[in-house]
Each structure stands twice: as structure tokens, then as C-alpha cells.
Amino acid sequence: MNIKEIPIKIVLTILLFSCLFNLPYGYYQLVRFLGFLGFSVLAYHAHKKDSQIASFIFIGLALLFQPFFKVVLGRQIWSLVDIIVGLGLLISILAKPKK
């Protein structure tokens, strides 16, 4: 894992887990924008490392969190998505890379 990816993943994880609290709607818009930006950067880094699976996952997450066209899933489903994606990011930080 590139050292530049770790802070992005940590910030995204914190943002996603904080979405589980009842916050103003503007915060969720900020998370969508920062999520789109962060997942796009992670997709770019994965593409540079020729990791097609990670690249596709991050592109999909960037599209899911993009701020331009709202994806309507409902509060409970978004909470589940935030938990799953946040845990996935934590696991990707803590997992040892394959050699």
C-alpha cells in the first residue's frame, strides 16, 4: 500500500462512521463530495499499481458517493453501506500486502 493512501482511507473511514450519528444534511453532502474525491484518488492509485479489482471497487464507490446525482437508498441502507465501506477501508489499512 502506498503511504499516500493510508491518510485518505483513515479520513474516509472517520467520515463514514460519523454518518451514523444524526448530523445536519450539509455534513452528508460534504461526505458525498469528499467520498467521491477520496475514492477517485484511491482508484487512480490502484490503477497505477495495476490492481484492476481494487480500481473497479474504488470507481464503484466513487460513483456511489458522487455528489452530482443523488443516489436515494434510505437512511437505514445508507447506514449499512457506511458501516460496510468503513470496515472494508479499515481492513485494507490493517491487512498485510501480498508480495
- pLDDT tens digits, residue range 60-92? 999 998 888 887 888 889 899 999 999 999 998
* Mean pLDDT rounded to a whole number for the chain: 88
87 located within any domain: yes
State the total domains in the chain: 1
pLDDT, residue 58, reads 93
Cβ neighbourhood burial of 3 (10 Å; 0-12, 13-18, 19+): exposed
29 located within any domain: yes
99 located within any domain: no
Domain extent for 52? 5-94
Pick from 74, 69, 44: nearest CA to 56: 44
